[in-house]
Structure 1
């Protein structure tokens, strides 16, 4: 089997294609069921797909600005701590003659400075990543909520008890299933360029949730279309 080239587009989800599929699904639902609010729910999903594009928009510029500021703060912290140690050494040298025991305060200063300085640097460098993680987790939470909204739309559609004809009911349920699949694909878009454990766990949870919901939808469809 021929090996796919590194960076092949078959190895990544395409945000534009997911967005296009969502728009096409919304149009189909609106044309087939204009009096149902399901097509409006699909529009909400499209807006969440657009959130992925914010990586190159305003939010991403804010992240880059925060990264620059954090690096500047790191430089200032390192310069301050280096100056503190330098002053301590200078005071010791100015004292003239000194014994080995005189180095103990200097050693303590260096250790304390290194420890607190290292913690400050790690904290500052992690600020942009925490900002991006918080943004992604907020969007993923909205996706999870949207999946439950879609599930509520199909939950009340019971074969033999709904006002829709069997053919229309089957089509309606199929669109619910497709929309749940797109919710999972949208969540997966946020996992494309990250190794953050919290984000990956949230994405995996949404994919499992939507798969379970879609399976229940297809059980209903099987009852309507036994053949």
Structure 2
């Protein structure tokens, strides 16, 4: 009996995506997140054309685009900045070595001199070395600090977007749909039916999930500890807000 050969692997396009269209990868793909946000915005517009929730989805898509653009441009920018700062640090190190070498040559030419003069010269040399080391460290860390600042600014905007989404659903109270509900003069009137409110709350929860995905794209683009901690905070915020929405959906009459 001839043994059966294993089936060949399914053909895949670039980026780890099978031809069938399903995403299989070991990291989050920016274009998949963007496509999901676009699809969500179309669904919102189709069901709630008069609501501004779709505009929030468009803004979230722009943030996702910015993350991708930042990731692509940041690699080149960081590479250039590292080359420039590396050259400056090397020049500073060479200049420091030249100065120290000149001092040593002067000492050999003039003799050791008085102990007080030697102590003052030694103190000056140590100070020069310390300040040179600090300057080199500052130059080498400049690209990372610049990239951290850009990513943190984008993550702060994502956090604000999550709160904006939450504001869109905060007045959607399932109690208003109960037959025995008695509104007051200060009650927020919303003519949504049960089905409409369920869809609206579901869209808000999905959009909050996309906020977490866009934040995860920032983590894909940066390995900075502060950035990763902020990404975790944004993901936790989006998850907590979405959980409150699902509680509302679960008690719809």
TM-score (norm 1): 0.87
Report how far residue 62 of structure 1 moved.
3.5
Partners of 1:56 and 1:209 in 2: CA distance = 24
Q: CA RMSD in A?
A: 2.2
Tell me how many residue pairs correspond in the alignment.
218
Secondary structure at 2:90's aligned position in 1?
helix
Question: How many Å apart are 1:57 and its aligned residue?
Answer: 4.4
Q: Which residue of 2 aligns with 1:3?
A: none
Superposition pairs for residues 146-185 of structure 1, below 5 Å? 146-159=161-174, 160=177, 162-185=190-213
1:92 is displaced (CA, Å) by 1.0
1:77-226 to structure 2, matched below 5 A, reads 77-95=92-110, 97-98=111-112, 101=115, 104=119, 107-159=122-174, 160=177, 162-224=190-252
Note the alpha carbon deviations across 1:92-127, whole angstroms, 9 max, x for none.
1221x4479576555444432322111111100000
Unaligned runs of 5+ in 1: 1-6
Would the aligned equivalents of 1:89 and 1:106 in 2 still touch at CA under 8 Å?
Answer: no
> Which region of structure 1 is more displaced relative to structure 2, 126-135 or 106-115?
106-115
Structure richer in helix, relative to its length: 1
Larger radius of gyration: 2
- TM-score scaled by length of structure 2: 0.79
For the Cα contact (< 8 Å) 2:71–2:221, is it kept in 1?
A: no
Deviates more, 1:192-201 or 1:182-191: 192-201
Deviation string, structure 1 residues 27-76 (Cα, Å, up to 9, x no partner) = 11111111000000000000000112123544544433322221121122
